[in-house]
Amino acid sequence: MDHFADRLADAVRAKGNSVSVGLDPRWELLPKELRLRHGNSDLSSVASAYEEFCNRVIDIVAPLVPVVKAQSAFYEAAGPDAWAALSRILERARQRGLLTIWDGKRNDIAATAAAYAETAFGGALIDGRRHPVLDADAATVNPYLGRDAVEPFLEGAARDGRGVFVLVRTSNPGARQFQDLDCSGRPLFIRVAEAVGAWSREARGRSGFGSVGAVVGATYPAELAALRSVLPAVWFLIPGYGAQGGSAAGTGPAFGDDGLGAVVNSSRGIISSFDPQARDWEASIEAATKQTISDLAAATSMARLADKRAVGL
């Protein structure tokens, strides 16, 4: 498989935007007709409702955006059938030409980290044979444990053409508590960013970007701008846009002049853009996706991607 950073750049260019749609199903926010049809008697019913909903979202957004990101927590909370559904949902997304990000923020050491990397990427190795589990194109990882704990993800990414997005600045209000601690003159999140930059430089694709990216919340535009200068050739995965309060303009510094370099994720703003009672929820998801693309294009150099696409570049 080609280098992840190149596959991402190609996908972004092909769609003319770099929006990621979050596949983060929550029962109370699903369309009511879908909830009624599947029922709420047990978690298996919830899992089947999640799967139908996510499949519809995928079919709606696949012609529009390059990436989907699945938040692991919502599938785990809905029990084993939802975990099984997640792997089928990611498979469907791949079949529709989408790049898939498993947002699990995993972190552990040695053989345990290797097991997470297998879950995310190449699959479990049983007596010499690989058995895919999630088979995602990229995964999110927490850096607190240090490089050796991230290593199995880097190895899996290098071997299988996958990407790793390391948490640098998260989008929550409390991110500052530890991430802003002054570490000998520079805040912790900048220290983490410096390490991410080094890891990313070890495996660059022809696009110039590395297979290791950074998670940077849209809710911290000043920090996002600072991080772009520390990390010039690193893909940013940007959560926190829209429902969490991040603005389109705030993501601007994350984009290069050519419109590459940042993937902006929207979850609730797209997949919960409708009144659950409404029957036209699919039209609402499509409209919200298009609106997200045009809002970001209006405020950032992402617009250049669409321009180039229009003239066939």
Q: Which residues are catalytic?
A: 105
Instruction: By CB under 8 A, name the binding residues for a copy of itself.
Output: 24, 26-28, 40, 42-43, 46, 71, 73-74, 76-81, 83-84, 87, 105-113, 115-116, 118-119, 124, 126-127, 129, 131, 133, 142-149, 167, 170-179, 181-184, 188, 191-192, 195, 244
Q: How far, in whole angstroms, is CA 60 from its chain's centroid?
A: 18
Give the count of beta carbons closer than 10 Å to the beta carbon of residue 40: 11
Give the nearer residue to a copy of itself in terms of CB position, either 144 or 159. 144
Sign of CA pseudo-dihedral 187, 189, 190, 196? positive
Give the nearer residue to a copy of itself in terms of CB position, either 56 or 176. 176
Give the nearer residue to a copy of itself in terms of CB position, either 216 or 303. 216
In this structure, what is the dihedral angle of CA atoms 218, 176, 120, 282, given to the nearest 10 degrees?
A: -40
Contact 8, 253 (CB under 8 A): no
Q: How far, in whole angstroms, is CA 65 from its chain's centroid?
A: 12
Contacts (Cβ under 8 Å, ≥6 apart) of 181: 187, 188
Contact 241, 233 (CB under 8 A): no
Residue 159 C-beta: closest distance to a copy of itself, Å: 16
Give the nearer residue to a copy of itself in terms of CB position, either 121 or 255. 121
Residue 313 C-beta: closest distance to a copy of itself, Å: 38
| Alpha-carbon span 170 to 103, nearest angstrom | 13
Residue 74 C-beta: closest distance to a copy of itself, Å: 5
Residue 108 C-beta: closest distance to a copy of itself, Å: 6
